[in-house]
Structure 1
Amino acid sequence: MASAHEFSFSTLRGEPYPLAALKGRVVLVANTASKCGFTPQYEGLQALWAEYGLRGLTVIGVPCNDFGGQEPGAAEEIGQFCQANYGVDFPMMAKEHAIGEAAHPFFRWVVAQKGFLAKPRWNFYKYLIGPDGQLLDFFISATKPEAPKVKRAIARALLPG
């Protein structure tokens, strides 16, 4: 696969969510979990969505139960948790695997693009996709969404040209 635009997820409601529909937009994909020490990062992801959404950023949450069983809920529970606790209104996908044989192809692709260090090692790894579908950068769990380097990378990706 040459571009993130070749992948598709399903929303929490089970509707197809092809990344090809986001051509021309900058996308930040995060593997998320509701019962993790990094769960408060939902707040930072929502803030990025609020700050940059109208300028061309789409934030996508992909719940994952691969790390410590920290996303045990069903789709409806995940959606309710995110909305009630963090006011999340950015697109949330159905639960997916981020590692192992069953890993969603998007997560296998990011490793193929950026190497071993891009492989999610825990919840809240964040992947920045350019308007052309290319993987621009990734940020580990400990890097908060509001970190200056994340915001700089998003701002650069949103620049025309």
Structure 2
Amino acid sequence: MKTLLALIFTLCALPALAAQSFTFANIDGGTIALDQWKGRPVLVVNTASRCGFTPQYNGLQDLYDRYKTRGLVVLAVPSDDFKQELATGAQVKEFCAVNFDLTLPMTDITHVKGPQAHAFYQWLKESQGWEPGWNFNKVLLDRDGKVAATWGSTARPLSRAITDAIDKTLQ
């Protein structure tokens, strides 16, 4: 019985730990591993350059600037799953630099839903029953890599709901 309980406890803990083990292609080349930010909250946002929500990049950068010294990481994940992203990572990087002066970390263009979804997004769907319904959906991971909150596209990065959740993960 003790072995069975230990196995159940281990299996229940796996989804929370798995968030830290994912690696993305970096828009600058190389990789971004979520475990490089172990112990820090991470806001992961699927983005697109040609979306009505694209001006949220300003809010994401402001959020990053406001909280980065306290440990928050904001990770932009460009995706063309909703047919609103530029053709290449280089174009996305240039677009974001010229129009938004982004300094936050950014992955290369990544699938976020469906059968080709990145393993992180597959994990979210399997463990949380959540996947992006559109561009600029947001997922806050706490310091332990557990999902603290999710928001849809209409949630502005500096909204009270998001900043309150971030403040809570930073306590």
TM over 0.5: yes
Q: What does residue 47 of structure 2 align with?
A: 32
- Stretches of 4+ aligned residues off by more than 2 angstroms: none
Q: TM-score, normalised by structure 1?
A: 0.94
Residue 111 of structure 1, CA deviation: 1.8
Larger Rg: 2
Q: What does residue 64 of structure 1 align with?
A: 79
Q: TM-score, normalised by structure 2?
A: 0.88
SS of 1:30's equivalent in the other structure is strand
Residue 119 of structure 1, CA deviation: 1.3
Structure 1 unaligned segments of length 5 or more: list them. Answer: none
Aligned CA RMSD, in angstroms, stands at 1.0
Structure with the bigger percentage of helix: 2
Structure 2 unaligned segments of length 5 or more: list them. Answer: 1-13
SS of 2:81's equivalent in the other structure is coil
CA distance in 1, matches of 2:146, 2:166: 13
CA deviations over 1:31-83 (Å, ceiling 9, x no partner) = 0000000000101100110000010100000000011x100331111111111
Number of residue equivalences: 156
Q: What does residue 133 of structure 1 align with?
A: 145
1:121 to 129, 133, 140: 133
Q: Percent identical across equivalent pairs?
A: 40
Contact 1:27 1:130 in 2 (8 A): yes
Contact 1:64 1:98 in 2 (8 A): yes
SS of 2:96's equivalent in the other structure is helix
